[in-house]
Amino acid sequence: MRLFRRRMNLEAAGIEAGIPIIPLVIGEEAEAVRASQAMRENGFFVPAIRPPTVAPGQSRLRVSITSAHRDHDIELLADILHRVCPRLGSAEMASATQ
């Protein structure tokens, strides 16, 4: 968890990540679905959570990290997330989560 928090700069974005399921707010539904599909194409199951489960404009990716994931897996996950969603871990992302 610490490695993922650090690689994604989650503290700076105001995202709590002390739990194994980490919601990363993307915003628009289409963008979250696109990001989820891109993650799947890269070998990671990161579902998009969208309305009506969450409020409109608050669609998110649901990242789940388990003890089966090794540092290499987490590094690769973070690298691909940054490529797919460059806003993640930024100040802009923090304002979207509040």
Residue 13's pLDDT is 54
Identify the pLDDT of residue 57.
95
Does a structural domain hold residue 77?
yes
pTM of model > 0.85: no
Give the CB-side neighbour count of residue 18, counting CA atoms within 13 A.
3
pLDDT per position in the chain (98 positions), as tens? 567 766 665 655 555 656 678 888 899 999 999 999 999 999 999 999 999 999 999 999 999 888 888 889 888 988 999 899 887 755 444 444 44
Residue 32 lies in a domain: yes
Residue 3 structural domain: 1-84
From CA 47, how far away is CA 71, in angstroms rounded? 21
Residue at 98 is within a domain:
no
| CA-CA-CA-CA torsion sign (16, 17, 20, 25) | positive
- Asked if residue 89 belongs to a domain, the reply is no
How far is residue 49's CA from residue 65's CA, in Å, rounded to a whole number? Answer: 17
Domain count, the chain: 1
Q: Is residue 90 part of a domain?
A: no
* CATH code for the domain in which residue 45 is found: 3.90.1150.10
